[in-house]
Each structure stands twice: as structure tokens, then as C-alpha cells.
Structure 1
Amino acid sequence: MSEQTVSEARAAFAKMCRMLSKPEPIAKVEERKIPGFQNDIKVRIYTPGQLKSLPVLVYFHGGGWVIGDLDTHDPLCRALANQAECMVVAVDYSLAPESKFPVAVEDAYMALQWAAAQAVGLGGDPTRLAVAGDSAGGNLAAVVCYLTQIRKGAAILYQMLFYPSTGFHYTPSYEEYGEGYHLTKATMKWFRQQYLTEYADTKNPMAAPLLIPKEATPLLPPAYILTAEYDPLRDGGFEYAEKLKKAGVETQYFCYPGMIHGFLNMTEALDDGKKAIADAAKALKDHFAASCR
């Protein structure tokens, strides 16, 4: 991917996702345009059945802040909505390099606030609000949890981070699995070059949640963090889980053996992708149910 143009990389990723994951039926899907940081952005709302006052999950897709869109992650969002029995609001945030950091972060934050404000009208329950994302989307979900604390935004009950990007240092898993396991170290370097403007951005907690200040960390919502064994980002996800645990944040951490980065989008080929989605959906459903007690 690092040798392709941005448009070529986007097209290749979209083709791969269409091949390796298939959408399941769901009761209702609708799209809306909402205000973003610089321009309007799209959201896609998934509603299972005719249930009222559904809990709400705001989802940020992966793709290195450069590739991916609502369609590439449509099957995953449908599965989460159906299995967790919640409304999913998928966010088509602005991509780099057209929109550099922190535009995607601000889009994500604004989309969360929109979802909270519009939840009742959509059939959702704004008091049961969670965020989730994979890879770069997991990065955005984690950062949005931090921003809601410092900006006094909508309360988030739960964060689900699937093989998230949490920092810009190269961990041992980058050296072990940085070549030959789908996501490469070279591709991650290319993503960062597209997304960030200067070296100082790598030290900003809005880009690297591992750098969220110690005093803010205990205030973050409970977390579910999932990583893959053969993934350059594995260690970063583990480090973030440990950071949350040490701060007293209720955190569940899982590393799926034998899996590679992006395996939740490969359910046509990998049964563990289906299992991981089912496990995450159950955890989400249970957490939403516990919040009602």
C-alpha cells in the first residue's frame, strides 16, 4: 500500500472488504449529513428491529485515517447492531491527506455530540451511549473519550477498541510482525505521513491516546480492547489496556491468537472474525443492560 497513490489504496481496500465480508440483513439503514469540523460529513444509522429507546454505539471505521469508508465497514456495523441489539451510528469522518490531523478527531467528536443530541428522535437512548472503532477508528474512539472529559461533552458509558493505534513509537510487535502479516510497518509509516503534519503531532494526546495525561485517565469510561497476535499494533493496544487498568479504569483485554490486523473485516475467510464480533457484541449488550439496573 505504501507504494500506491491514495486513490489506488482506497480502491484496493474497498475491493478487499467487499470480497472478505458480506452484509447481513438489518431492519433499517439510513444516511444523513451532519456538520463536521470543516465540511458536512455523512453518518449511516443502523437500527435492528422495532425496539424503542435503543442504546447507541457511535462507530469510527479503520483505515489509517486515509482509507476506508461507510461501505468498507458496513458488514461489521450491521453485525454489531443486530447482535448487541443497539443502534449503530457509523461516521464517515474526513480523511487524510486532504484533511490532516486534527480534522478527523474533531469530526469524530462532533459526530458523537450529534448522536447524543439526536438519539431520542432516532429512537435511541442518549443515556446509554458508547463508542467503538477499529485501527485508526479505535484511535479516534479512544481520543473522543478523552475529549468528552476535558470538554464536558456527552457522557460515554463504554469504549470498544479493536486493534487500535495508540501511539507513534515502534514497539517489539512492529519488528516481529512488520512484514508479511497483512499490515506492514511501511504502510503504518505511510499512513502517519498522510495524517500528521509535523513531528510534534506524534506527542499530542489527541493523536496518541497513550499520552493522555495521568490525571485524566481515571475519568475515562470502561474499556474493551481487542488485539491480534500477528499485528504490528498489538503491543500498543496492550500498553493502552495496561495504562487504563493501572488508573483504575475497568478494562477487558483480549488478544486473538493466530489473527492478523483487520480480521474483523475478513469474516468470509476467518471464523475467528465472526467469533470476535460475537464476543464484542455480547460484552457491549451486557454493559448496556447493566447500566439499566
Structure 2
Amino acid sequence: MSEAHPDIKAVVSEVPPLHQFSVEQAREGYADYLSVEQDLASLADVRDSVVPGPDGNTVPIRVYTPEGEGPFPVMVWLHGGGFLLGGIESYDPVCRVLADELDCIVVSPEYRLAPEHKFPAGLRDCYAVTEWAADRTDVLGTDSDELFVGGDSAGGNLAAAVSLMARDKGGPDIDYQVLVYPTTTFSYEFADEASGGESYFITEPDLEWSWEHYLENDIDGMSPYASPLRASDLSDLPPATVLTAELDPLREEGVAYADRLEDAGVPVEHTHYDEMVHSFFTNVAEPRVERAWDAMAEIDAHLDAAFADDKEQEDLLVA
């Protein structure tokens, strides 16, 4: 197995194991880790709003609109953080880059976090925001009917679960899902000690700590909406991009989910990043990790390819 690439090792080698802290301490440390002072992208508009939630609550959102004429697709991006950490502010730099690089409107929800709100509260918020985004393209300033969901780590889990829920409930119509090193099962059957060393950001004990806070019990963990890999049927889901990292304890469950999607007839683009660790995707600022930007370009290429035929047909109709 490779050593971590020097670019990413320099960023994460001093990050202590999350499970050694209280949730509040871990939240503060995670926010500091993602904090960026530099301006990473030039956008047309960034604004905050709220969306009606599923349980009489409201879900804060931040909407990022790229420069240009559009119409722009809409991507609901669900942040990582083990279902416990992160939020609109900490993921602001990543969402700015996503909007700019993918040339799409990005909707970032402040979904409810565990342990204050256990499964499925946060997922229900994510689904409510996705429904809202599908029905409010006029409010978002676009007449595009292309809707994507995506997320990294726990956010990748939530994006996969939202896609499953949308299929099972008959909507909204999600056109693509982007799953960046997603956690897809709570049961650790893919535990890989060699990829979880102390210099590689998260370890198996960190994952266990996260799931213990997120789930009320193991029965909840068996739900496909908590563990998408446990779904009996993955057919009729949106096409997917799945990114995995070599030195990541979530690597094999991400690979397994990509394989199961493909076996179910879902078009899948799976890209594996050697020498990379969990969290590399969010390292878009100085000290810059070039493969984070490579991953952004990879997602952009996959989306362009997936919708090339649709765009050609639209151009023919206009002509």
C-alpha cells in the first residue's frame, strides 16, 4: 500500500483522532480545519434563506449562483462531518468552488446534526431541501430541469439515501448523484486497518464514534436509508459518480456501492485516487492539494458527458 501523497500528508498529519474529543470540541476543530480566508471563486450571487422542514422545523440553506447566463443545473450538496460536524459556514469554501467549477447553482443545507438529532432527522431535512429545490427553480433563478445531489463522506451517504428515498417515494426527479468517499454501511464489514493510520485523518474508532452518535440502535443501522449498501434493490437510481481514496477506511465500502450500482444497471463512473486520504476533496485552499481540484474537474467531466446527448437534442430542437 502507498504512503500518503506529500501534499495531503502535510495537511492532515497533525489532525488528532476525532473520537478522543467531545462532540463540541470535535465541531470546533473540524470548523478550524476547513476554515479558509482566501477568495476561491468569483460568483454572481451568494445568499442565505430557509426551507420548510419535515418536522415543523425550518432548514437554513445557502445558495451559490455562478457567473454566466445559464440556465444552470441545480446541485444540492450535503456536507460531510460524520453526521455530527460541519455546516453551511464550514463548507462555504467547498460550495463556492463547486458552483464555479461545475457551473451550477449549489444549494447547501444546514441539516440537523446528531447526537442532538439522531437518524433520520438530518436525512429528512436533506430530502425536504431536495424536494424544495426541484420545485423552486424559478426562485433559484434558473429554468433548468436538471437536478443533482451530492456529498462527501457522511454527505455522500445522505446523497445516496436521498436518491433512494426519491425513487421509493416517487420524486423528486434526481438526474445524477455525486458520492465522494461515501460511508455506505454502519457495520464495518470493510474495516481496513492499513488505511486508517494516525496520519490519515480518520480511523475505524472515529467511524464507530460517529455511527454510535448518529444511530439510536443497530436496527436503525439496518435501514437502507442509513446504510444504502444494505438496500435490497439499487435499480432505477440516478447515474452516479463515486470517488474513493486509497488510504481511507471507507474505501472498500465506496467501491462496493459503486459495484452494486453497476450490477443493478445504474450508469456509474468510479474514480479511485491513489495516495489520497479521507478529506482530500475538501482541501481546495492553501496549502493546495491538486488532486482536490482534479476531482472537481473529474466530476465536471462526468456531468458533461452524462448530459451531452440531452444538450445535443435540445440544440437540434432549437435549430
| TM-score of the superposed pair, with normalisation by structure 1 | 0.94
**Is the 2:195–2:246 contact (alpha carbons within 8 Å) kept by the matching residues of 1?**
no
2:276 paired residue number: 259
The answer to which of 280-289 and 4-13 deviates more is 280-289
Query: Which residue of 2 is the match for residue 23 of structure 1?
Result: 40
Residues 1:52 and 1:280: Cα distance change in structure 2 (over 3 Å): closer
- 1:47 aligned residue (50, 59, 65): 65
> Deviation digits for residues 149-170 of structure 1, max 9, x if unmatched?
1111110110000000100222
The 2-side partners of 1:291 and 1:281 are apart by 16
Distance across 2 between alignment mates of 1:56 and 1:128 = 6
* Paired residue secondary structure (1:70): coil
Per-residue Cα deviation, 1:163-221 (whole angstroms, up to 9, x for no partner): 0010022244532223321111111111111100011011110100001222xx11101
Residues 185 and 229, structure 2, Cα contact 8 Å, conserved in 1: yes
SS in 1 for 2:116: coil
Query: Which residue, out of 209, 223, 233, partners 1:204?
Result: 223
Moved more, 48-57 or 87-96: 48-57
Residue 101 (structure 2) aligns with: 83
> Match for residue 228 of structure 1?
245
Please provide the CA RMSD for this pair. Answer: 1.7
Residue 206 of structure 2 corresponds to residue 182 of structure 1: no
Residue in 1 that maps onto 2:10: none
Give the C-alpha shift of residue 273 in structure 1.
1.2
1:57/1:124 CA distance change after superposition, 3 Å? same
Asked if 1 retains the 8 angstrom alpha-carbon contact of 2:204 and 2:249, the reply is: yes
Structure 1 gaps of 5+ residues are none
Q: CA deviation at 1:126?
A: 5.2
Aligned length: 291
CA contact (8 A) 1:52 1:123 kept: no
1:76-225 correspondence to structure 2 within 5 Å: 76-125=94-143, 127-180=145-198, 181-214=200-233, 217-225=234-242
Query: Could you tell me how far 1:20 is from its partner in structure 2?
Result: 9.5
Greater C-alpha Rg: 2
Runs of 5+ unmatched residues, structure 2: 1-17, 314-319
Q: CA offset at residue 78 of structure 1?
A: 1.3
Equivalent of residue 51 in structure 2, options 29, 34, 40: 34
Q: In structure 2, how many angstroms separate the alpha carbons of the residues matched to 1:288 and 1:31?
A: 29
CA offsets per residue over residues 230-286 of structure 1, 9 Å max, x none? 000000100000000111110010110000001011132321111111221232244
Q: Which of the numbers 303, 306, 319 marks the counterpart of 1:287? A: 306
Distance 1:263 1:22 in 2: 19
Sequence identity of aligned pairs in percent?
A: 38
241, 246, 250: which is aligned to 2:258?
Answer: 241
Shift of 1:11: 0.6
Contact 1:228 1:234 in 2 (8 A): yes
Inter-CA distance 291–169: structure 2 relative to 1 (3 Å threshold): farther
State the one-letter code of the partner of 1:121: V
Cα offset for 1:41? 1.2
Whether contact under 8 Å (2:65, 2:105) holds in the other structure is: yes
Q: Distance in 2 between matches of 1:286 and 1:20?
A: 34
Q: 2-side partners of 1:12 and 1:173: how far apart?
A: 25
- Answer whether contact 2:102 2:296 (CA < 8 A) is retained: no
Aligned to 2:77: 59
SS of match in other structure, 1:165: coil
- What is the CA–CA distance in structure 1 between the aligned matches of 2:212 and 2:39, rounded to whole Å? 31
Give the TM-score taking structure 2 as reference length: 0.87
Letter in 2 for 1:93: Y
- CA 1:178–1:21: 2 relative to 1, 3 Å: farther
Residue type of the partner of 2:230?
L
Cα offset, 1:43, TM superposition: 0.9
